[in-house]
């Protein structure tokens, strides 16, 4: 048997990959976070599949479910919101499975920041404006950030920054980023990106905190900070330039 760590995408059920959907359809056991994974996705599980909501389970209980399925020779679809490579808590599960000798496979998914950018209608890497994206979070009620990864340090480059798990600390986020980005820097907050109840807030570091409070956004949101959000005057990419050397047909 195999444990499939599947990126379920940012929220809309149809944003799972074809590979992820096929793994889900063929796995007789499915573990999912009920508060984050769209319920519609579970309709793709086999009719008699064992469904386990992990929202209130500990790591030990989750691994026990995976090990039990392994002993029974059953494949497991382990659904994670977004993409497993970012803020998914997959690393500690894989470490436990390695120790137990349980095989697994990771199936990528659409990350929340990509869905947020799509909803905003913006490219996050704009020529001449911003070519670097910092994906990070804050440490309130979560695992402490490693030394040197505080927002003030990361923001010194003024690169485009995307923050997960941070909207509840919007005032602190603004205070830490203001010295590097300035109060006029464009900011967007996208809550529940790609879902029917999506909320999009656009503003600046000077006013976004008040907007977040007024909208009542407190979770499942991505904060995007950077000049790329309002860039309109920028050079065309070299990728499609007429001056770029291209191979001749038949060469």
**Residue 25: predicted pLDDT:** 97
When the pLDDT of each residue in the chain is averaged and rounded to a whole number, the result is 93
**Residue 191: predicted pLDDT:** 97
**Residue 140: predicted pLDDT:** 67
The set of residues, in sequence order, having a beta carbon less than 8 Å from that of 79 and lying 6+ positions away, is 6, 8, 24, 30, 31, 32, 33, 37, 41
Q: Is 198 left (phi over 0), alpha (psi -120 to 50) or beta?
A: beta
**Residue 21: predicted pLDDT:** 97
Q: Which two tokens stand for residue 236?
A: 């065309």
Cα 232 from Cα 130, distance rounded (Å): 12
The set of residues, in sequence order, having a beta carbon less than 8 Å from that of 219 and lying 6+ positions away, is 167, 168, 191
**Exposed/middle/buried for 212, CB within 10 Å: 0-12, 13-18, 19+?**
buried
Q: Which two tokens stand for residue 114?
A: 């990509």
**Residue 67: predicted pLDDT:** 97
Total-model pTM: 0.90
pLDDT in tens, 96-106: 999 999 999 99
CA dist 161 to 28, 133, 137, 233, Å?
Answer: 40, 6, 10, 20
pLDDT in tens, 65-121: 999 999 999 999 999 999 999 999 999 999 999 999 999 999 999 999 999 999 999
Residue ranges of the chain with per-residue pLDDT less than 50: 251
Label each residue of the chain as H, E or C: CCEEEEECECCCHHHCCHHHHHHHHHCCEEEECCCCCCHHHHHHCCCCCEEEECCCCCHHHHHHHHHHHHHCCCCEEEEECECCCCCCCHHHHHHHHHHHCCCEEEECCCCHHHHHHHHHCCCCCECCCECCEEEEECCCCCCCCCCCCCHHHHHHHCCEEEEECCHHHHHHHHHHHHHHHCCCCEEEEEECCCCCCCEEEEEECCCHHHHHHHHCCCCCEEEEECHHHCCCCCCCCHHHCCCCCCCCCCC
């Amino acid at each position: 048997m195999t444990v499939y760590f599947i990126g379920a995408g940012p929220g809309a059920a149809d944003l799972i990959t074809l590979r992820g959907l096929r793994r889900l359809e063929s796995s007789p056991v499915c573990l999912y976070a009920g508060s984050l994974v769209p319920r519609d996705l579970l309709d793709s599980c086999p009719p008699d599949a064992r469904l386990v909501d992990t929202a209130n389970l500990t790591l030990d209980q989750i691994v026990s479910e995976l090990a039990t399925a392994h002993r029974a020779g059953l494949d497991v679809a382990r659904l994670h919101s977004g993409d497993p490579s970012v803020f998914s808590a997959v690393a500690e599960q894989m470490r436990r499975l390695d120790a137990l000798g349980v095989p697994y496979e990771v199936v990528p998914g659409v990350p929340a920041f990509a869905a947020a950018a799509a909803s905003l209608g913006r490219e996050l890497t704009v020529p001449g404006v911003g070519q670097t994206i910092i994906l990070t979070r804050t440490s309130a009620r979560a695992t402490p950030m490693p030394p040197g990864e505080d927002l003030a340090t990361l923001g010194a480059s003024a690169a485009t920054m995307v923050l997960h798990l941070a909207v509840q600390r919007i005032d602190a986020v603004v205070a830490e980023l203001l010295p590097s980005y300035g109060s006029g820097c464009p900011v967007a907050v996208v809550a529940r990106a790609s879902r029917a109840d999506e909320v999009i807030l656009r503003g600046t570091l000077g006013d976004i905190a008040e907007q977040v409070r007024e909208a009542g956004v407190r979770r499942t949101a991505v904060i995007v900070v950077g000049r790329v959000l309002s860039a309109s005057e920028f050079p065309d990419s070299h990728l499609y330039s007429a001056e770029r050397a291209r191979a001749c047909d038949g060469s």
